[in-house]
Structure 1
Amino acid sequence: MAEEDVQYASVTFKNKNQSQERPKREEDTVYDNVRVNHKTTQETPDAKGGLLSEKEEEKCCQNYKLLAVCFGVICLVLLLSIVGFVLYVALIHKSDENNQLKANQSARQKENENLTNFKIKLSADVVNVTGMFDNLKKNFTVLELKVTSLTAENQNLTSQNEKLKTSEKILTERVQMLEKNLTEFNVVLLQRVMDNYCPKENNDRKCKPCQKDWNQKESSCYVYNNAKGAEQRSWAGAQDDCKEKLSSLTVISDENEKTHVFTISAPEGGISGFWIGLRAVNRTWKWIDGTDLINQTWVDQPAADGQCVTSLRGSGWRSVSCEIKNAWICENKALSIP
């Protein structure tokens, strides 16, 4: 008999039925002696292809079963690993998607907030622009009114300017006429002065301090107009006559002059007094040159508007209506003849 090597293998089988029937026994161990023979002529199949022994066939089936179980377990592990990996990848992807969605949602929320703020600001800007537009519209309306007013004023000023030009032309013509008349009047006046103060005597002129037929008293010249009846004048008419004679109604400054005026104002038939240059102005006695009467006792009555003063020798000064007709006395300054 050939030399044999004997190896032992232990195989553990779990049986569900046995675990239920015998709960206290965890496993059954079956020991099987495996004899490994060296190459012999008895165990080697013959040339005709003889069949394996029943023991070897059972052993081979057990090995195949074990291999199939191991392969199934490996496949199950691989399948579970793949499923776990897929789930893990899916979870990671889902988490990334959630994070991305959250980020997008946060960005959109921030964008919405920005849009809301922009809308609020835009609304405020619209309100401000509307207010500015209303103010500009009001200012434009005011400017239009001002322009209209200025246009009307300009037209009015233009019209007034035209009128002023017309008036200026008329005034210029009048001034030229007055200058002409003044020149002529000066010539006439000068001639009258020459004739009155420097009358011709034998083709020779000899000048005197007073006009012809006037009486000199110190530095003044006097003439009395003893007009009677219809020739008598009111106070204003008497003053006009004195102006024509280059003089005015007499103005008396002191007692000496007053006495002299009394001397030349002698009473005559039909004459009740001689006008002098004194009248009431605002209840004050004033001389025709604008000065006030110093001695109020010279007049018999207080000053009353519409009253003027006459002088008559023997009767003194009397306050009578300025419209009464009387004679009058004129006075001017005597010329200084070298």
Structure 2
Amino acid sequence: MTKERDQLQTSNNNLTKERDQLQTERDFLSGRLTNCKQTCPEGWQKFESSWYFLSETTEKTWEKSRQDCLERGADLVIINSREEQEFLFNLKKRVWIGLTDSVKEGTWKWVDGTPLTTGYWYDKQPDNAGPTGNEDCAEIHEDQSPLKAWNDLSCDSKLNWICEKAFQHHHDNIL
């Protein structure tokens, strides 16, 4: 009897341990899943190694657009290649991008602080013209050609915008 009881006890302990491990694993995986809903949510599209969110219907000032991106765990888009510029242009919207010379007139910087090296300005832009003579934020203007599409605009204008979130590779292989 005693022997049998001990065997049952051991077997019970092992099952409890196994159950706990499975629960931990399940919690971990469902956490990953919610996480994926946050990193691959509705309205985002993937291109190369980033996710992009285009505000389809809402229009906001540059600052408010940037705020929206930050709240989504992203930032206004930074354009690092010709391919990326073409991809964004093909979304066919007038959109804010993460480029401004509000700190120092004429010195264009991306939202991450890096200076602009390759720009895709429309001819004669940036001209800082505008009604107030103060255009410190950059947009992609859908009426131009893909590689000559940027225009400087007053940051208080209201446009659609594009957020960019860099990819985290460790999510790819888990699901």
TM-score bracket, shorter-length normalisation: 0.5 to 0.7
- Of residues 242, 250, 253 in structure 1, which corresponds to 2:77? 250
Summarize the Cα distance change of 1:312–1:197 in structure 2 as closer, same or farther, 3 Å threshold. farther
Q: Deviations over 1:102-160 (max 9, x none)?
A: xxxxxxxxxxxxxxxxxxxxxxxxxxxxxxxxxxxxxxxxxxxxxxxxxxxxxxxxxxx
Q: Deviations over 1:278-327 (max 9, x none)?
A: 01131201000001110245352156865101113332111000011111
- Counterpart position of 1:314: 143
Question: How many pairs does the alignment contain?
Answer: 130
Asked whether the equivalents of residues 66 and 75 of structure 2 are also in contact (C-alpha less than 8 Å), the reply is yes
TM-score normalised by L of structure 2: 0.65
1:291 aligns with 2:114: yes
1:224 aligns with 2:54: yes
State the SS of the aligned residue for 1:292: coil
Q: Which has the larger radius of gyration?
A: 1
How far apart are the structure 1 equivalents of 2:100 and 2:126?
A: 12
Which one has a larger percent helix, Structure 1 or Structure 2?
Answer: 1
- Counterpart position of 1:197: 36
1:323 aligns with 2:153: no
Asked whether the equivalents of residues 196 and 212 of structure 1 are also in contact (C-alpha less than 8 Å), the reply is no
State the SS of the aligned residue for 1:298: coil
- Counterpart position of 1:178: none
Measure how far apart 1:210 and its partner are: 3.2
How far apart are the structure 2 equivalents of 1:219 and 1:335?
A: 9
Summarize the Cα distance change of 1:305–1:293 in structure 2 as closer, same or farther, 3 Å threshold. farther
Query: What residue ranges of structure 2 are gaps of 5+ in the alignment?
Result: 1-29
Asked whether the equivalents of residues 223 and 331 of structure 1 are also in contact (C-alpha less than 8 Å), the reply is yes
- Of residues 217, 238, 242 in structure 1, which corresponds to 2:65? 238
- Counterpart position of 1:213: 43
Which one has a larger percent strand, Structure 1 or Structure 2?
Answer: 2
Which aligned segments of 4 or more residues in structure 1 are displaced greater than 2 angstroms? 191-196, 209-213, 295-299, 302-306, 312-315
- Counterpart position of 1:276: 97
Asked whether the equivalents of residues 197 and 212 of structure 1 are also in contact (C-alpha less than 8 Å), the reply is no
Q: Deviations over 1:237-289 (max 9, x none)?
A: 0011111111010000111111111112x14xxxxx21110011312010000
Q: Deviations over 1:46-69 (max 9, x none)?
A: xxxxxxxxxxxxxxxxxxxxxxxx
How far apart are the structure 2 equivalents of 1:282 and 1:192?
A: 44
How far apart are the structure 1 equivalents of 2:31 and 2:73?
A: 9
TM-score normalised by L of structure 1: 0.35
Q: Which has the higher contact order (CA 8 A, sep 6+)?
A: 2
Q: How does 1:118-129 map to 2 (within 5 A)?
A: none
Summarize the Cα distance change of 1:297–1:328 in structure 2 as closer, same or farther, 3 Å threshold. closer
The percentage of aligned residue pairs carrying the same residue is 29
Query: What residue ranges of structure 1 are gaps of 5+ in the alignment?
Result: 1-190, 200-208, 268-272
Measure how far apart 1:196 and its partner are: 5.7
RMSD of the alignment, in Å? 2.6
How far apart are the structure 2 equivalents of 1:277 and 1:298?
A: 14
